[in-house]
Chain A
Amino acid sequence: MANGTNKLALISSRGTLDWAYPPFILSTAAAAMGWEVGIFFTFYGLPLLKKDLTATVSPLGNPAMPMKMPFGSEGFQNFNWPIPNVLMANIPGFENVATGLMKKTFKNKGVATVNELRDVAVDLGVKLIGCQMTMDVFGFKKEEFIDEAEVGGAAMFLEYASDANVSLFI
């Protein structure tokens, strides 16, 4: 606990649309409760800092991911469409379809977009740290990230997290 305020330190390591939600939902909720919040974006989480945020979702390797239809009757919408991996792997553009369906379903249900949640996080003063090592490895430049993003390494994050009440690796 830092100065009597609760503190949340997150590591965001996955950048697909589904995995982009948890860090932004948790960070905005915590900040809304007056907590101090920081997110360290590393490996595949790093693109979530890009100005042009284009997270997609792949059902490939997500065997538990239900496919929901964003249209039709309630029964139709609530049906879990079993999509075998072997099928997805062989249909070009399936990832685009899955991403479109997930975005539409989320929108219909009243979930904010990842872009909106990131804007809220910035607005609430959530500290956003990009991993320098990942930037070097994958060839990201700081100019590609939103202005609010900082850059740091493992030691910087660990020092930040050292007095956090809640630390999660996502």
Chain B
Amino acid sequence: METVTKKLDCSGLLCPMPVVKTSKAIKEMAVGETLEMVATDAGSMPDMQAWARQTKHELLEATENSGKFRFVIKKTH
């Protein structure tokens, strides 16, 4: 497992908060650092993929495990 710089728990939150909180957390990090975000919102899977495409940050991982979604994002710029 890769080293995660920062963790963010968005469990229980619905759209658009996982994306909003991820964006805020990424802004506070340095380029090259990685953020692990976990969510329970099923919409977070397509939303985080779109968010990563739009913001050009790298989505290293996007997985689901029994209703828990886990994302690892690398800040690229």
A interface residue numbers (CB < 8 A to B): 6, 25, 28-29, 31-35, 109-112, 117, 120, 124
Size category of the binding interface on chain B:
10 to 19
Q: A32 contacts which of B12, B41, B51 (Cβ < 8 Å)? A: B51
Q: B12 contacts which of A6, A110, A117 (Cβ < 8 Å)? A: A110
Q: B54 contacts which of A25, A34, A110, A112 (Cβ < 8 Å)? A: A34
B interface residue numbers (CB < 8 A to A): 12-17, 19-20, 22-24, 41, 47, 50-51, 54-55
Whether the Cβ atoms of B19 and A29 lie closer than 8 Å is yes
Task: Among A31, A110, A120, find the residue whose CB has the most chain B CB atoms closer than 10 A.
Answer: A110
Tally A-B pairs: CB < 8 A: 42
CA separation between A28 and B23, bound complex, in Å? 10
Whether the Cβ atoms of B12 and A33 lie closer than 8 Å is no
Chain A residue with Cβ nearest B41: A110
Give 27 pairs: A residue, B residue, CB < 8 Å, sorted on A: A6-B54, A25-B15, A25-B16, A29-B16, A29-B47, A32-B16, A32-B19, A32-B20, A32-B23, A32-B24, A32-B51, A33-B19, A33-B23, A33-B54, A33-B55, A34-B23, A34-B54, A34-B55, A35-B54, A110-B13, A110-B14, A110-B17, A112-B13, A112-B14, A120-B20, A124-B20, A124-B23
